[in-house]
Amino acid sequence: MNDKWCVATGVAVARGIHPNAKEKNGLFYAGTIGIRYMLIPKTKLALRIDLTQSNQDDEAIRFYFRAGETF
């Protein structure tokens, strides 16, 4: 968006294999949208806030907050 703000998105798909439970096997997906704010450009220190939605029952919606180096 500009030198300080950025929007990030992502999609991941994986085949899960659980050795002890057939119901845990299958195709899993996750979609993410997040924002980035550059706190200190010289050191690439950024504030990252992400919201993730997946088809896993125990981790369907997750909110992530991190301050660290950008990727």
Given this model, what pLDDT does residue 24 score?
60
Write out the two tokens for 41.
């450009």
Given this model, what pLDDT does residue 3 score?
81
Q: What is the pTM of this model?
A: 0.68
Local confidence band at 52 (pLDDT 50, 70, 90 cut-offs): very high
Write out the two tokens for 13.
């798909």
SS3 58: helix
Separation of alpha carbons 51 and 9, rounded Å: 10
The segment with the largest mean pLDDT, out of 26-30, 38-42, 45-49, is 45-49
Given this model, what pLDDT does residue 31 score?
95
